[in-house]
Amino acid sequence: MAYYFDDSSRTFNEFLLVPGYSSADCIPSNVDLSTPIVKYREGETPALRANVPMASAVMQAVSDDRMAVALAKEGGISFIFGSQSIESQAGMVRRVKDHKAGFVRSDSNVRPDQTLADVIELKEANGHSTVAVTEDGTPDGRIVGIVTSRDYRVSRTPEGMKVSEFMTPFADLIYGEDGISLSEANDILWDHKLNQLPIIDKQGRLTYFVFRKDYDSHKENPNELLDDQKRYIVGAGVNTRDYGERIPALVEAGADVICVDSSEGFTEWQARTLEYARAEYGDAVKIGAGNVVDKEGFEFLAKKGADFVKVGIGGGSICITREQKGIGRGQASAVMDVVAARNDYYKKTGIYVPICSDGGIVYDYHMTIALAMGADFMMLGRYFARFDESPSAKLNVSGNYVKEYWGEGSGRARNWQRYDLGEGEKLSFEEGVDSYVPYAGSLKDGVNSTLAKVRSTMCSCGVLSIRELQERAKLTLVSATSIVEGGAHDVILKDQAPGLVR
């Protein structure tokens, strides 16, 4: 006969955290929200950590290169959507990796015999106002000067004028020698009031630029998530069909972590994808998998080599898998079951596999509930779709600003690969909807507000790290009545009151 789970299928909304003793040290500024993203052995340091436990979903309406940069500035990771051509997705990854670094290779270069028209064309294509002038026009050629917006005026300088006639020549440049530290380079920038500093090797070839704006950006964003070359960390999604071509392209583009994006992870298709990655790259490529909702699903993916396991089926705000197929599980129950399996796996093998909770987040406090239940980070779609930095359109509907938001299983996305069961190349029926979400302004403001709540709640629980929260949290089930009690009740809210006569 069929197997029946003992408990109901629970959601995050059915739980509350019970306060713990808070010492004088339990203040929000002392809370550490860093968390492992990929597996590691007991006693070792994970190869990849996030500074905040937030990842943006592998969705057309959520994660492109602009979102990836914005979220990395706040300490999280974006997984750029895979329901696009391999070339387009790899290009997005490449733009994130090239967007900002302590030492930046020049991607805007001209020869001295080229013209202002060429400089303007480069600026329009790349958006960069600093152009390196090298003998051969390559990014690592022998430098002869640079061009910035100070060197010409479009209204007065003829477009046919040679670059050599208006550039700042090498003899007038202040530069750093190859091997200089980032701190030393920034000191030169500030001492000489420069906006950019070329870094030159002993043969006079340009190796990098260091930009003053990057220093300012880092000071404004202390949680920036950077790799060892001071470039933003970025992830990308792959499917279980063209992984043999897509993964190499993403690795070449510089993706730091990959996620197999599938509606269900307990499949042979997912196993084949993981086996390919391990056979081709060993442990050098970090690749997570999912989604699963129980112990069996977790153990299957962990044994196949997944670097993290994504949990959740049918809990997303635009997902209709449960009503279409009757498949899924309440997100809280799924997380608790998979976390228990992860902890048992850790005890047996000494390998810790991070858990990503994907879906089921309605209110900000649900994130803290998910972390307390043992998730290491959350993947969020609706949450990030609301912000300026998401790739969807901002509209005015009935006097209210909204952003478009659609599921990968919707007729609009038609991401059949995500729901592939090994048959025809089409989406047989929809498992997602096309919708709007209330516009919420800038990502920075929204994320900072949310994380302020998470830190405050953790202090109320008497903990200062996610690991402490997982070990010491106390959770209680709530009744329908107590949910009502938890909000404003038995009062007339001022913004909803009829005209008041004093």
Q: Is residue 319 annotated as part of the catalytic site, yes or no?
A: yes
For residue 457 the two structure tokens come to: 């709640």
Strands 131-134, 143-147: pairing is: antiparallel
Out of 95, 231, 259, 319, the active site residue is: 319
Handedness of CA 297, 317, 28, 66 (dihedral sign): positive
- Best CA proximity match to 145, nearest among 163, 167, 114, 166: 167
Out of 95, 231, 418, 455, the active site residue is: 418
83-103 b/e (C-beta count within 10 Å ≥ 16 → b) = beebeebbbbbbbbbbbbbbb
Q: What is residue 247's three-state secondary structure? A: helix
**What distance in Å separates the CA atoms of residue 73 and residue 269, rounded to the nearest whole number?**
34
Q: Is residue 418 annotated as part of the catalytic site, yes or no?
A: yes
Please enumerate in sequence order all residues whose Cβ is within 8 A of that of 397, keeping only pairs 6 or more positions apart, or say none.
436
Phi/psi of residue 72, each to 5°?
-60, -35
- Best CA proximity match to 41, nearest among 351, 248, 271: 351
CB 84 within 8 A of CB 433: no
Helices (H), 242-375: 243-253, 268-281, 295-303, 321-325, 331-349, 365-372
CB 431 within 8 A of CB 323: no
Q: Which residues are catalytic?
A: 319, 418
